[in-house]
Structure 1
Amino acid sequence: MSAPDPTGQPLLVIIDPVARRADGESVRIARDVLCAGAAAKICLTDGPEDVSRALSRRNRRPVVIGDDRALLRVVGLLHRRRELAESALSVVPVGAPHTVALAHALGVPRGPVAAARAVLDGAPHPLDLLVDDSDAVVLGEVCVPDGYVPGASPYAAGDGADGGRHPDGGPEVPGDPVGPVEPGEPAVPRRQALTAGGHQSWWSPAARTARTALALLTGPAARHALPSCTRLRVEADGVLLADLDQPVERVTVSVVNGLAEVVVHHRSADRPVRARARAVTVSGPDFRYRADEVGAGPVRSRTWTVRPEAWRLTLPR
């Protein structure tokens, strides 16, 4: 029989499908540690709908086994339901190092055993949150425009926290490997790209090669090689930090001690402009940005507002 959870609340363990594919052994270890230390309900999810249904279970403490995007998806769902403050979240990071960097930066231990033990023996810590004017949440940092991010995840250029992505760049289709998908192109599993006779269409390899070449020319690696400079208007609590006649290379927004810290890198200035505020607005010609390694836009204006201590994460005592 499982030992009681120290909080007196059973666990709802949500296992992300990307984690199962990326490192099934770490997932198994984390699951075994959690089940040995608490009453736990295991949910093997295949997409955002499964996660949403799982979170409908009451009186269970959510635990995410997965990468940063899996954690972001759960935080975003609970925020939109206005249930984020109801219980502390826990996460066992599983994935390549750059896909779990945010969880570790928040204080979650490395390794499935240490992280699972922190879930069982740790304590909830209140954390601040950035929420934009489209009601999307940010746990880490916003970068405008969508430029170079060291170690960016190959499947992080999605259109939001709820859009599951396969590691090769296409949307997740449970049970079906998919190839790279162009914007606006429906996701078609490879096994469906067959003729009625069961043979692969002659154009399929060429089409995949063309799509791969296009992805290389327009993807993160190509963007990293291009100079990032655009015209933006940046305001912090109404105070103007940059205007359209002052080209900027990069703008970052993050939370520091309950306030949003905005850093504006001007093209012609030796040092960036820094400010802290409750709300930061970036506007200008259509621009893209990245929030927690997720690409978004284009938009003409976006405002990020700090919600102090809006959520709780279980961390080591």
Structure 2
Amino acid sequence: MATYPASEQLLVIIDPVARRTDGESVRIAKDVLSAGAATKLCLPNGPEEFARALARRGARRPVVVGDDRALVRAVSLLHRRRELAGSVLSVVPVGSTLSLARSLGVPTGAVAAARAVLDGDVRRLDVLVDDSDGVVLGAVGIPPVREEAPREADAVPADGHPWLRTCQSLVRTLVPLRPARPLAATGPARLRVEVDGATVVDLDQPVEAVSLTPGAAGSALVEVRPVSVGSEAPPVRAEGRIVSVSGGDFRYRADAQVVGPVRRRTWTVVEGALGVTLPTPV
């Protein structure tokens, strides 16, 4: 592990969502980072400005202040530029979706995360790269978690004025409703799961879920949950470097986004592809 000196120059990219959702944590992070290192602040207004700032970082170490989506965006940009292996990324998690950053070992408090940026160690982590050049830092889940459509009552403002509800009802009678977007299927699927070329589950065995998570260095842990008939069927587990899933159209959740539908996807573990600053082990 290598430790970066506090005097290193930092490019602090503050995601616009973080600025809107938790300005106080953003301010704290800026104060701690500016007090401990030479910093250049960047306040992009959207993905394009975010990408330009990262591309023009020069010798500065990038620090992303934002949620899991901002973290995935930064890693994906570096990967597409083929600069991920030679880069070190620091993160101060700010926002409502921080489970991915937490799973990587990044503190979710603004002060602790900023101190880790300044004083932490660089750790190389494995990532999954799929056959469409997408990058996964954490877990892959098939199918994605089902998200319920909002109830009609949820659309009524908190003040609940009867006249406003009457207007909303009138609008609904005049304007045809758009059909609801189909939710991700949660029923059994018929998928072929292969790990390093060996078939773990074939199309003749319906499955409820498939998951991929980082395992030992250079490998992924695969868990397949077959559909239970009578007694509960135990999960099937395997470990390997290359995982392929194929069959009927399926969607999957990768980190903070849902992808698909696809008929086939292959993930390959790239060992030590991501360098991230984490707190020094006690």
TM-score under structure 1 length normalisation: 0.75
State the percentage of identical aligned residues.
58
Letter in 2 for 1:16: D
Q: How many residues align?
A: 256
Q: Which amino acid aligns with 1:129?
A: V
Per-residue displacement from partner, 1:276-302 (whole Å, max 9, x unpaired)? 011000001111111003100111100
Instruction: State which of 198, 201, 207 in structure 2 corresponds to 1:248.
Output: 207
Rounded to whole Å, the distance in 1 between the matches of 2:121 and 2:176 is 50
Match of 1:58 in 2: 58
Inter-CA distance 208–54: structure 2 relative to 1 (3 Å threshold): farther
Q: What corresponds to 1:114 in structure 2?
A: 112
Structure with the higher strand share, 1 or 2: 2
Contact 1:9 1:59 in 2 (8 A): no
Matches of 2:82 and 2:7, distance apart in 1: 23
1:214 aligns with 2:180: yes
C-alpha distance in structure 2 between counterparts of 1:287 and 1:41, whole Å: 43
**Shift in CA distance, 125/204, structure 1 to aligned 2, threshold 3 Å:** farther
Q: CA deviation at 1:210?
A: 3.9
- Residues 143, 186 of structure 2: 8 Å contact kept: no
What's 1:158 paired with?
none
Distance 1:288 1:116 in 2: 36
Deviation at 1:214, TM superposition (A): 2.6
AA aligned opposite 2:243: V
What's the counterpart of residue 78 of structure 1?
A: 78
1:1-317 aligned at under 5 Å gives the runs 6=5, 8-56=7-55, 57-96=57-96, 99-148=97-146, 206=172, 210=177, 214=180, 218-219=182-183, 227-258=186-217, 259-268=219-228, 270-317=233-280
Corresponding letter in the other structure for 1:234: V
Aligned letter for 1:53?
R
In structure 2, C-alpha distance between the alignment counterparts of 1:82 and 1:58, rounded to whole Å: 15
The 1:257/1:204 distance shift into structure 2, 3 A limit, reads farther
For structure 1, the 5+ residue unaligned runs are: 155-167, 169-179, 181-201
Aligned to 2:162: none
Q: Distance in 1 between matches of 2:177 and 2:64?
A: 37
How far is 1:8 from its partner? 4.5
Residues in 2 aligned to 1:235 and 1:289: alpha-carbon distance in whole angstroms:
16
Higher-Rg structure is 2
> Which residue pairs with 1:185 in the alignment?
none
Contact 2:220 2:241 (C-alpha < 8 Å) held by counterparts? yes
* Structure 2: tracts of 5 or more residues without a match: 156-167
List per-residue Cα deviations over 1:37-83 (Å, max 9, x = no partner): 11111111122211111112210000000001100000000011110
Q: Would the alpha carbon gap of residues 8 and 273 (structure 1) be closer, same or farther in structure 2, given more than 3 Å must change?
A: same
Equivalent AA in structure 2 for residue 101 of structure 1? S
**CA distance, structure 2, for counterparts of residue 72 and residue 10 of structure 1:** 23
Q: How many Å apart are 1:265 and its aligned residue?
A: 0.4
Residues 116 and 266 of structure 1, relative CA distance in 2, 3 Å threshold: same
Q: CA RMSD in A?
A: 2.7
Aligned to 1:55, the other structure's residue is in SS state helix
Q: 1:205 to 1:27 in 2, by over 3 A?
A: farther
| TM-score, with structure 2 as normaliser | 0.84
Mapped to 1, the partners of 2:101 and 2:129 lie a distance apart of: 18
Q: CA deviation at 1:203?
A: 10
Change over 3 Å in CA distance of 1:281–1:42 after alignment to 2: same
Partner SS for 1:131: strand
